[in-house]
A and B are shown apart, each in its own frame.
Chain A
């Protein structure tokens, strides 16, 4: 049944679990960045720009972006698949969630690249 799929559902779910666990660590670093300085200061323009120029932190931001997007949009795909069943709906869900995921990653990456050059 459905052998034309690129990934088996078990493989997709392994990705879901791994991205979830990996996200914990990078999001923790991200939240810590708000706490190692006074919170208000952490949201100041200059502080943030300097963050965006720190290549290690940028890599962390980019990995949050990718990990959480993959995990979150797959989560939405799961929910929508359970909601309704028909070929047209299911194909639509696959296309929409994958495009939204790529779009969000691209948009966030654009911010990171531009802010890095500011």
Chain B
């Protein structure tokens, strides 16, 4: 290949493109949210493994660390974790299917006005289902954590 020695980064959209989910429809929102929840869950996971490790230092150490999440804000944070986990998992399953070419339709002869078969209603409903499941899980978690 003719290498361009140092390709220019001039005018790249950069992080703004990653972080701005508007403009391109539901699939772009799914991309944005899958990434956001993935990173958030990893951070939680690291903290969580650290949190549980306090148990080896006895009951007192465990209980004093646990107090962090036994507050209103701590509970709200856990609810976010549950929501993120549900969305990321459900949408992750959808993405594994699409990355395997399933549920996207087949190539054909495009006619004006073009409507790309890969952005079909099955994909959009998959995203909505993941969002609804996530909301339901958060509602359920809310009732358990704040109930009674």
- Give the interface of A toward B (CB within 8 A): 13, 17, 20-21, 23-24, 27, 31, 35, 39, 43, 45, 48-49, 52, 65, 68-69, 72-73, 75-76, 79, 104, 107-108, 110-111, 114-115, 118
Contact assessment for B38 and A39 in the assembled complex, using a CB-CB cutoff below 8 Å:
no
The CA-CA distance from A24 to B45 in the complex, in Å, is: 14
B145 at the interface (CB under 8 A from A): yes
Contact assessment for A43 and B38 in the assembled complex, using a CB-CB cutoff below 8 Å:
no
Contact assessment for B41 and A72 in the assembled complex, using a CB-CB cutoff below 8 Å:
yes
Count B-side interface residues using an 8 Å CB cutoff: 26
A-side contacts of B4, CB under 8 Å:
none
Contact assessment for A111 and B52 in the assembled complex, using a CB-CB cutoff below 8 Å:
yes
Interface centre among A21, A107, A108 (most CB of B within 10 A): A108
Distance from B89 Cβ to chain A, minimum over Cβ atoms (Å): 5
Q: Give the secondary structure class of B's interface.
A: helix
Taking A24-B89, A75-B42, A104-B46 as contacts, is the C-beta distance between A17 and B63 under 8 angstroms?
Answer: no
Contact assessment for B42 and A111 in the assembled complex, using a CB-CB cutoff below 8 Å:
no
Distance from B102 Cβ to chain A, minimum over Cβ atoms (Å): 13
Contact assessment for B49 and A35 in the assembled complex, using a CB-CB cutoff below 8 Å:
no
Selected from B35, B52, B92, the residue in CB contact (under 8 A) with A79 is: B35
What are the 9 tightest A-B residue pairs by CB atom distance, in nearest-first order?
A72-B42, A114-B56, A111-B53, A45-B59, A108-B49, A75-B38, A17-B96, A20-B92, A24-B89
A-side contacts of B59, CB under 8 Å:
45
B-side contacts of A35, CB under 8 Å:
144
The CA-CA distance from A112 to B94 in the complex, in Å, is: 33
B29-61 CB mask vs A (1 if < 8 Å, else 0) is: 000000100110110011001101101100100
The CA-CA distance from A110 to B66 in the complex, in Å, is: 19
Taking A24-B89, A65-B49, A111-B53 as contacts, is the C-beta distance between A76 and B39 under 8 angstroms?
Answer: yes
Beyond the given pairs A21-B93, A72-B41, A111-B52, 5 more chain A to chain B contacts, judged by CB atoms under 8 angstroms and listed by A's residue number, are: A17-B99, A27-B85, A45-B63, A76-B42, A118-B55
B-side contacts of A48, CB under 8 Å:
55, 62
A-B contact pairs, 25 of them (CB 8 A): A17-B99, A20-B89, A23-B89, A27-B85, A43-B66, A45-B59, A45-B63, A48-B62, A65-B49, A72-B41, A72-B42, A73-B42, A75-B42, A79-B35, A104-B46, A104-B49, A107-B49, A108-B49, A108-B52, A110-B53, A110-B56, A114-B56, A115-B55, A115-B56, A118-B56
